[in-house]
Amino acid sequence: MKLTRKELEKMFPHLSKEMQEKIGSVSIDAVRTEPSDVVSNPLRGYNPDVVDFLRRCVNDGEGEEIIAFLEKRGELSPEYAVTLRRQLKEKGIRSFGPKKEADYYLKKLKP
């Protein structure tokens, strides 16, 4: 959506005034010359979910332990825990996806 200056002033008079008078403006004097850690590590701050944990399990018993643990900690609702247990019982641990081996995320980062 393109606005002319007049349209902007009519629709947003206070914002227009602030922009013209540079009220609340901030000067940016820095330049980043090296890539930030966020760019170089896209997994930084990633928080695995229950399926990530289940995909590391070797068998259905380990999967049940993970579900019970996360439910006890309040990280899974009782309803979702029931759904996960049903899937585990009916389809098995691999129904959540292929097993994530050691260094899974490191391998994902390599080009």
Does the residue 19 lie in any domain? Answer: no
| Residue 24, pLDDT above cutoff 70 | yes
Average pLDDT estimate for 57-74? 96
Give the count of domains, the chain.
1
Query: Whole-model pTM?
Result: 0.58
Q: Which of 29-33, 54-58, 103-107 has the highest mean pLDDT?
A: 54-58
Does the residue 21 lie in any domain? Answer: no
Task: State the pLDDT at residue 50.
Answer: 94
Does the residue 68 lie in any domain? Answer: yes
Please give the residue range of the domain that contains residue 74: 45-104
For tokens 């940016």, name the residue: 28
Backbone angles phi, psi at 96, to 5 degrees: -85, -5
Take residue 90 and report the two structure tokens written for it.
């009916």
Does the residue 73 lie in any domain? Answer: yes
